[in-house]
Structure 1
Amino acid sequence: MTQEGVKRGISSPRSISALSSSCYRTTSCVATNTCCCLLSYTATNLTRCSEILSSNIDRLGISKRVSIAILGDSRQRQLFTSFVHLLKYTNMTYELQGRHGSIRELEPLLLNGTNIHTNIVLKGSTDMPLDITFYWDPLLTEQLPKLLYQWLQHSHTSPRLLIIGTGAHYLCRYNETASVMLGKHLAAVLPSLNKLAQTTHTIVKAMDHILVRYQEPPFDKVLTDQNIDNFNSILADLMVNSPSVIMWNSTLPLSDQYISMCYDHRADRMDYLWNCDDPLHLGYVVIH
C-alpha cells in the first residue's frame, strides 16, 4: 500500500498479507501497520491532490472541478464526516435538506445527527476545485444503479473517486440471506461498476467489525463477528473478477483494536473520537 490509498490506506483482496496480525504493532490503543506506508491526510494534502487532479483533467480538455462520491449507509456517512473534519477550515460550503451554509457549521450537525438519511453536498470554490457528495443508499440499490447509468452515459458528470459500502442494513433486513441478497444486488451493477472503474477510481469498502457484545435484540442475532466476516468474504469473492475495483479492507484490524479498548474501558468523548456507547458505529479515532 502507498500514499495513493484514500484516508488510512487501501488494500485489495489480492494483497491480504498486509492485514495479518504480524503487520501490526500495537501500543496501548494505537495500532501501527509496519507493512504499509500510511499517511494521515490533512486538508493541505487534499487541497494539493485536488489541484493536481484538476490540472491533469484540464489538459484533457475536461472540466477542472474534481468530485468525490461516497455512497452507502451511516458508516460511509462517517467517512464523509471525516472529510468535513479535515476541510472545515477551508471556504467550502454545504447543502443538506434545503439548508446551506459554511462547512464549519456542518461537522456538529453530522456528529449529532445520527438519523440524517439523505444526500449531503460539500462544494468547493475557485481556489478549492473539489466537490464531495454523500449519497444515502444503505443497500446500494436505490441511487447507485441510477448514478452508474448517468455517469456512464454522461462521462463529464462522473466523479474522479467513488467509494461505496454497505453491511449492517443487509444483515438486519435479510438476516441469514443477507449474503445472497448482496450477491444478487451487486452482480446486477458489477458490469457497470467495472466499466466506470476504467476512468474513475472505484473503491468498495468492507464492513468493519462493531461492538457486537452491546447489540440488543433483535440485532444481537444478526450483527455478529461471524456474519460480518461472511459478508466481507462474499464481497471479496465478488471483487475477484473486478481487477479495476479496489476493495478497502485495511481498517478491519484498526476496528478490532478499537473494539478491544472499548470492551476494556468503554470510553466516550465529546468529539466522538471514542464513542463506545454506540454499538453500531466506530469512533472517529479509527476513521480520521
Structure 2
Amino acid sequence: MATSWYRRCALLSIIVCVNLTLIAYYTNSLFFNGTRMPLLFQNIPNKIKEIPRLFKRPPHFSRYFDRNCYHYDGLEARFICDGPYFHFTKERILDCVWKLWNTTRDPKEIDPWQNQAAHANVSASDVVTRPAIHIMFFGDSHTRYIFEVLVKRIASPDIKYRVASFKRDQWEDVYVMMAKRRQITHEDYHKVIHLGVPLKITYRWNAFLEELPSSLESWIAGKEPRPNFLLYGTALHFMKATRKVYRKFGAKTASEKYANQLKVLAPLVDEFAKTTPTVFKLLDHIQDHPQNSVENKDHIDLYNDIARETLAGDHAALWDSALPLSDIYNAECKKHFRHSQKTRLWICRDRRHIGFVMIEQYLDMYLNAICNKVPK
C-alpha cells in the first residue's frame, strides 16, 4: 500500500511540474537570472506550438521556408509539400527573371529590354538606370553568403559588379570581383546587374539592421524605388556586441537590444510585405566551440524565438527550413573536419558560418519561393 501511495505522489508531482512549466513559459518566466530552463522542459512548449502547423499548411510563398515541408536526408533537404521544386541553374534563374519581368512591367510602356540582340554593345552605366527585377539582401554575413552564391551561380561576362567604395560608374567584371571577395566583404553595399536581362541584385551590409527602418519607410512612401524581393536577417553581431552583458546578467537581458530593434522593424516590415515578398531568415546554428561560448545553440534559439514572436505578422515570411541543414553541417564538421577555401563548400575552420554545400540549398529554397507559382 505504501509503495502504491508513493507512486501516486510521484506521478502527481510530475503532472504538477509539467503544468507549472507550461504556465511559466506562456508568462515569459522560463528565464531565471538570464538562464533558460533545462532542455527537457523548454522543448515541451515548442512541441505544443507546432501542433497547429500539422493541420494548417503555410501560405504558398512561405511554404518553401517551413521546415515541415522538407525531409532532411543525409546532407540534403527534400521538399515534400505540394508544388514544384527545382535546382535553379543559371538558365532557369534567368528564365524566371524574364517571366517575372513580363508579369510585373506595365505593358503600355516601351520595354527597354526588348532588343536583346543589341545588349552586347550596352554599357553598365546605361543599364543601371533601367527598371528591372530587383532582389535585395539586407543584413549580416549569413545573408551575404546567399547573395554570393546567387551571383556565383549566374556569373557570366554579362554580369557587372560594383561596391560602395567605387566611383559611381565604376563597374567590374563579376569574375574580378569574386576574386577580390576578401577585400570587399564589409562594404556598405554590393550591386550586381545583368547587361542583357532585367535583373539587379543588391546586398546591403547592415549587421544591426539600424538602417533598414528608414529604407522601409522610403520604399513604403514611394520616395525610393522598392525592390521586388527582400531577404534580411541578423542576430550574430548583436550577440557579439553584448557579450559582457550576457556573462554578467544572462541571455535574456543581453537579448533586449535585439528584441527592441525587431520591435521597431515589425510594423514597417508587415506594411512593406503587403505588396513585396519579404523574408526574415532565422540565424543558423553554428559550431559548438569555445570561441563561440556566447553564440551557443541555446542563445541562438533564444534569438530565433524572439524573431518568431516579434516578426510573426500576416504578410512576411520567417525562414526556418535552413536550420536543420545547419545542424547537419555542424555535425559533419565534427566528424570530418574539412576546409576548402577555394570552393568554400566546406569551411569547418570558420566556426561562425555554414559552408556553401548548404548555402547552395538555401538559395534553391529561396528561388523556389520566388519563381514557383504554387497552386492553391
> TM exceeds 0.5?
yes
Measure, in 1, the Cα distance between the counterparts of 2:302 and 2:107: 42
Measure, in 2, the Cα distance between the counterparts of 1:124 and 1:253: 33
- Partner in structure 2 of residue 137 of structure 1: 206
C-alpha distance after superposition, 1:182-218 (max 9, x if no partner): 22111112111111111111000000011122x42xx
1:31 pairs, out of 69, 76, 84, with 76
**More displaced stretch, 68-77 vs 116-125:** 116-125
Residue 202 in 1 paired to residue 278 in 2?
A: yes
Partner of 2:255: helix, strand, or coil? Answer: helix
- Partner in structure 2 of residue 120 of structure 1: 190
Conservation of the 8 A alpha-carbon contact between 1:84 and 1:106: no
Taking the TM superposition and a 5 Å limit, the aligned residue runs for 1:91-240 are 91-96=158-163, 97-98=165-166, 100-110=171-181, 112-113=182-183, 115-125=185-195, 127-141=196-210, 143-154=211-222, 157-174=225-242, 175=246, 176=251, 177-213=253-289, 215-216=290-291, 220-240=292-312
Conservation of the 8 A alpha-carbon contact between 1:50 and 1:129: yes
- Letter of the 1:24 counterpart: Y
C-alpha distance after superposition, 1:84-135 (max 9, x if no partner): 111112512111120520112222222x34843421111122x210101100
Output the TM-score relative to the length of structure 2.
0.66
Residue 273 in 1 paired to residue 345 in 2?
A: yes
Partner of 1:59: helix, strand, or coil? Answer: coil
Q: How many equivalent pairs are there?
A: 268
Which structure would you say has the larger Rg?
Answer: 2
2:100 pairs, out of 48, 53, 56, with 53
Measure, in 2, the Cα distance between the counterparts of 1:113 and 1:209: 26
- Letter of the 2:73 counterpart: R
Conservation of the 8 A alpha-carbon contact between 1:76 and 1:164: yes
Conservation of the 8 A alpha-carbon contact between 1:178 and 1:231: no
Conservation of the 8 A alpha-carbon contact between 2:157 and 2:173: no
- Letter of the 2:96 counterpart: C
Measure, in 2, the Cα distance between the counterparts of 1:201 and 1:124: 22
Output the TM-score relative to the length of structure 1.
0.85
Conservation of the 8 A alpha-carbon contact between 2:79 and 2:85: no
Conservation of the 8 A alpha-carbon contact between 1:10 and 1:249: no
- Partner in structure 2 of residue 42 of structure 1: 89
2:69 pairs, out of 18, 33, 43, with 18
How much has 1:280 moved relative to structure 2? 1.1
CA gap of 1:229–1:79, structure 2 versus 1, over 3 A, is: same
C-alpha distance after superposition, 1:55-110 (max 9, x if no partner): 11213768751101100011111111011111112512111120520112222222
How much has 1:233 moved relative to structure 2? 1.0
CA gap of 1:57–1:115, structure 2 versus 1, over 3 A, is: closer
Partner of 1:282: helix, strand, or coil? Answer: coil
Conservation of the 8 A alpha-carbon contact between 2:162 and 2:172: yes
- Letter of the 1:121 counterpart: K
Structure 2: 5+ residue runs without aligned partners?
1-56, 110-129, 361-376
How much has 1:150 moved relative to structure 2? 1.3
CA gap of 1:61–1:260, structure 2 versus 1, over 3 A, is: farther
Query: What root-mean-square deviation, in Å, do the aligned CA atoms of Structure 1 and Structure 2 show?
Result: 2.4
Measure, in 1, the Cα distance between the counterparts of 2:228 and 2:255: 29
Residue 72 in 1 paired to residue 139 in 2?
A: yes
Measure, in 2, the Cα distance between the counterparts of 1:24 and 1:287: 15
State the identity %.
24
How much has 1:178 moved relative to structure 2? 4.2
Measure, in 1, the Cα distance between the counterparts of 2:205 and 2:79: 35
How much has 1:221 moved relative to structure 2? 2.9
- Partner in structure 2 of residue 282 of structure 1: 354
- Partner in structure 1 of residue 6 of structure 2: none
Measure, in 2, the Cα distance between the counterparts of 1:251 and 1:162: 17
**Larger strand percent:** 1
